[in-house]
Amino acid sequence: MNEKAKSVIKNLYYTVAANFATLGISVLLNLFVPKLLGVTEYSYWQLYIFYSSYVGFLHFGWIDGIYLKIGGEEYSDLDKRNLGSQFWYLATFEIIMSFAVILWAIFMMPASTKSTILILTAVVSFITIMKTFILYIFQSTNRIKEYAQLSRNDRYLYVLFITIYFSMGGRNFIWLIIMDILSKLIVTIWGMTRVKDMLSIKVIRLNDLFLEIFDNINIGSKLMLSSIASMLITGTIRFFVEKKWTIEVFGKLSFTLSISNMFLTFVNAVGIVMFPLLRRTNQQKLPSLFVTLRGLFVPLTYGVLLFYVPAKYILGAWLPEYNESLKFMGILFPIIIYEGRMSLLINTYLKTLRKEKTILLVNVLTLVMTLLVSLLVIFVIGDLTLAVGLILFSLAFRCNLAEFFLCRSMNIPVGYSLVLETTVTILFIISNQLFGGNFVSMLAYLVVYLIYFLFVHRSFIRSFKEFKALLIGN
C-alpha cells in the first residue's frame, strides 16, 4: 500500500472514530434529552439549536474564501502572520456583531423565552465562528486528526456536563444551552493553542490587509450564500411549521430530522477527508474517481433505509410521546441518501473544480421553489404531512440538479441512474404509507432493494475493485 493510501486510511480512521463516538453522543442526546426534558422544554432546546445552526454565516464568507484559497496546502507553507492577523480582525468584528444582537434583543424585543434564546445564540455565535476558522485551517492543510478532535471534543464535554446536571435533578433547557456554550468555549481555546504560532504574531495593519480580506469575502461569499440557501431549504419549512402550528410540533419535527441526520455522521466523516485529497488529485482522474465513488456509495446508502422499521419500533417504545413524529421518518429517512451524496461527492467535487457559482445557483433555485411551495402547503392547504414530504422533495431536487450540472461538466452520463434511484425512493415511501411502517413495510422495501441491486450489482462490484486497487496503489 502506497504512502498516499496510508495517509487517506489514517485520516479516515481519525474522522470515523471521532464520528463513531459522536454518533453515540447523538443517540444519547436524541433519546435521553427529550425523555428527561418533556416536549415543551425539548422544543425550546431545539429552537436554540435551530437558531445557532445559522450563526456560522455571520462571517459573510470571509472564512470560506480562506478555505478555498489554501485548500490542499501544507500547514508549514501558510502565511501565518497574514492568517493570524485575519483571525484577530474577524474576532473583533464578531464581538461587535454579537454585542449588537444582544442589545437589540434586550431593548427591541419583549422579554420572553425566545428573546433569551436569541441572546444566548448571539453569545455562542462568536465562539462558533472562531472555532470554524481553526477547523478550516486544519481541514485545508490535511491536519485531520486535530480537525476531528476540535470538531468533536466539545460534544464529549457537553455530554459530561449534562449528565451531571440531569443526575442532580436539573430539567431546565436554559442550563443545557449554557453548558453547550461553555463546552464550545473550552474546546475553541484548546484549538487556539494548536495554532498558537499563527495567532501569537504581530498583527498586520488593517489598511494593509483590507484588499486581502475583501477578496476572501468576495470569493467565499458565493459558498457562504450557497450554504445559507442550503440550510434555509429545510429551515424555511421548519420556521413556517413553528409559526403555523406550535412549538411542540416544531420540536417533534426537529426530533425526526435529528434521528435521520444521525445516520449521516459517517458520510460527513469521509467528506472531511475528501476535499484536501481531491485538491491534490490529478484533475484528469477526477471523473473516473467520481464514477467509482458514486458506484460504491449510492447502493450502500439505499441499504441503510432497511434500518427504518427497527429504528421506529425501538424509538416508539422508548419515546411514545413522539410516535406521531416517527411516522414522518418513513418520509424523511431517504434524506440520508440525498444529503449524504451532496456532502460526500457533489459539493466536494464542485468545490474542488471551483464551481462555487453552480453550488449557489442550485441552492438558490431550490430555495425559491421550496419557499413558494411551502407557503402554499403550510398556510393555504395546512397539511403537516405534505410539509414533511416537501423537505425530502426539496433535498432530492437539489441533489439531482447539482449532480446533473456536475456530471455534465465532466461528461459523465447519469440520467438513467437518477431515474432508477428516484423510483426506489418513491417505493420506500409508498411501502411505509401503505403498511404503516411495520415489518411488512420492511419486507416490501427489501424486495425493492434486491431488485434495484440486481440492476446495479455489476457497477457496484466494478467500483469496489477499482477503489480497492486505488488504495493499494495498483
- Reported as a single tens digit per residue, the pLDDT across 242-259 is 777 776 777 777 777 766
Q: Which of 116-120, 237-241, 244-248 has the lowest mean pLDDT?
A: 244-248
Q: How far apart are CA 153 and CA 145, in angstroms?
A: 12
Contact 97, 125 (CB under 8 A): yes
| 280/373 same-domain check | yes
**What is the model's pLDDT at position 13?**
54
Q: How far apart are CA 335 and CA 162, in angstroms?
A: 29
pLDDT of 359 over the 60 cut = yes
> Of 145, 174, 204, at which residue does a domain stop?
204
| 182/50 same-domain check | yes
pLDDT band of residue 351 (cuts 50, 70, 90) is confident
Q: Is residue 210 part of a domain?
A: no
| 149/227 same-domain check | no
Q: Which of 153-157, 238-242, 407-411 has the lowest mean pLDDT?
A: 238-242
> Among candidates 71, 9, 139, 13, which has minimal Cα distance to 468?
9
> Among candidates 429, 427, 474, which has minimal Cα distance to 447?
427
Give tens-digit pLDDT for 401-430: 998 888 888 888 877 888 898 999 999 999
Q: Is residue 1 part of a domain?
A: yes
Q: Is residue 209 part of a domain?
A: no
| 150/228 same-domain check | no
Give tens-digit pLDDT for 427-448: 999 988 888 778 888 899 999 9
User: Percentages helix, strand, coil for the chain, rounded to the nearest 5?
Assistant: 90, 0, 10
| 344/402 same-domain check | yes
Query: For the chain, what's the residue count?
Result: 474
Q: Return the number of other C-beta atoms located less than 10 Å from residue 336's C-beta.
A: 21
**What is the model's pLDDT at position 424?**
92
| 356/468 same-domain check | yes
pTM: 0.67
| 156/232 same-domain check | no
| 296/193 same-domain check | no
Q: What percent of the chain has pLDDT over 70?
A: 85
Per-residue CA distances from 223 to 136, 147, 228, 260, 355 (Å): 14, 20, 9, 25, 9
pLDDT of 12 over the 70 cut = no
> Among candidates 134, 391, 12, 100, which has minimal Cα distance to 238?
391
Q: Is residue 391 part of a domain?
A: yes
Sequential DSSP letters for 175-238: HHHHHHHHHHHHHHHHHHHHTHHHHSSPPPPHHHHHHHHHHHHHHHHHHHHHHHHHHHHHHHHH
| 311/455 same-domain check | yes
More confident residue, 114 or 256: 114
Q: How far apart are CA 80 and CA 58, in angstroms?
A: 23
How far apart, in Å, do the first and last CA atoms of the chain sit?
Answer: 9
Q: Is residue 211 part of a domain?
A: no
User: Domain tally for the chain?
Assistant: 2
Cell of residue 463, nine digits? 467500483
Q: How far apart are CA 391 and CA 405, in angstroms?
A: 22
Contact 138, 144 (CB under 8 A): yes
Q: How far apart are CA 148 and CA 23, in angstroms?
A: 13
> Of 204, 237, 263, at which residue does a domain stop?
204
Contact 48, 128 (CB under 8 A): no
Q: Which residues contact 132 (CB under 8 A, 6 or more apart)?
A: 56, 59, 63
**What is the model's pLDDT at position 425?**
92
Contact 229, 367 (CB under 8 A): yes
| 241/291 same-domain check | yes
Cell of residue 85, nine digits? 492577523
Q: Is residue 217 part of a domain?
A: no
| 347/378 same-domain check | yes
**What is the model's pLDDT at position 268?**
59
pLDDT of 450 over the 90 cut = yes
Report the b/e string of 338-376 with b at 16+ CB within 10 A.
bbbbbbbbbbbbbbbeebbebbbbbbbebbebbeebbee
DSSP 3-state assignment of 263?
coil
| 195/243 same-domain check | no
**What is the model's pLDDT at position 447?**
93
Q: How far apart are CA 262 and CA 258, in angstroms?
A: 6
Instruction: Name the average pLDDT for the chain.
Output: 79
Contact 157, 26 (CB under 8 A): no
> Of 204, 237, 268, at which residue does a domain stop?
204
**What is the model's pLDDT at position 185?**
93
Q: Is residue 178 part of a domain?
A: yes
Cell of residue 369, nine digits? 421553489
**What is the model's pLDDT at position 474?**
44
Q: Is residue 159 part of a domain?
A: yes
**What is the model's pLDDT at position 16?**
55
The whole domain housing 37 covers: 1-204
H helical segments located in 53-172 = 62-70, 80-108, 113-140, 144-167
